[in-house]
Structure 1
């Protein structure tokens, strides 16, 4: 995943699927936290540095006054599990799985 760019969540999911969900060395940042949306844009950048048990966001994130929305590793894990359960999951299905994980700290089950 290329960093230091703004992409819609739809574009991010498409890129991650093209990369076969292997690149997790990134984080998503946004103007607000809360539920993810396909059409909403997110800034892709580096992981925050941890200094004295505090996350210090990368300079490009701090300059834009953005908040951490999702760690790349967690995002990849949630997408991978969702696609194992529902191979033909739509992008909207994947967004629902990501939001579910954020709210419940567990993976969403797809009905067969």
Structure 2
């Protein structure tokens, strides 16, 4: 894995790490957490990576102690992030930080992929 769980990263740092990697499938098992879940993503948006929440018998999310102790909110599922990247690649786009941020914001607002 190229990133550490429970460590602060800017969204730009995460993207730069992923752009330098040939395989981003490890993101599939992680989620993005932040204190600013209602804000639009920017290069400086501070995020933490941690495992997906567990689910209790009633279907409610059970977050890790790290997420709870640091007052974090689920921001983006790793699987969604990979889907956004994959969609951009399938459109034949050259990936860069600004394009990925725009596509992620579009996805969060519209629950749909950005056509570029």
Residue 65 of structure 1 aligns with which residue? 71
Residue 33 of structure 2 aligns with which residue? 29
- Structure 1: give runs of 5+ residues left out of the alignment: none
- Scaled by the length of structure 2, the TM-score of the pair is 0.87
Aligned length: 110
Does residue 108 (structure 1) correspond to residue 110 (structure 2)? The answer is no
Q: What displacement does 1:86 show?
A: 4.1
Does residue 92 (structure 1) correspond to residue 92 (structure 2)? The answer is no
Q: Secondary structure at the match of 1:102?
A: helix
For 1:20-50, what per-residue CA distance to the aligned partner results, in whole angstroms no more than 9, with x for missing partners? Answer: 3221110010002132111121011111111
- Scaled by the length of structure 1, the TM-score of the pair is 0.89
When residues 12 and 19 of structure 1 are mapped into structure 2, their CA distance, relative to the original with a 3 A threshold, is farther
Q: Secondary structure at the match of 1:36?
A: coil
Map 1:14-53 to 2 at 5 A: 14-17=16-19, 18-23=21-26, 24-34=28-38, 35-51=40-56, 52-53=58-59
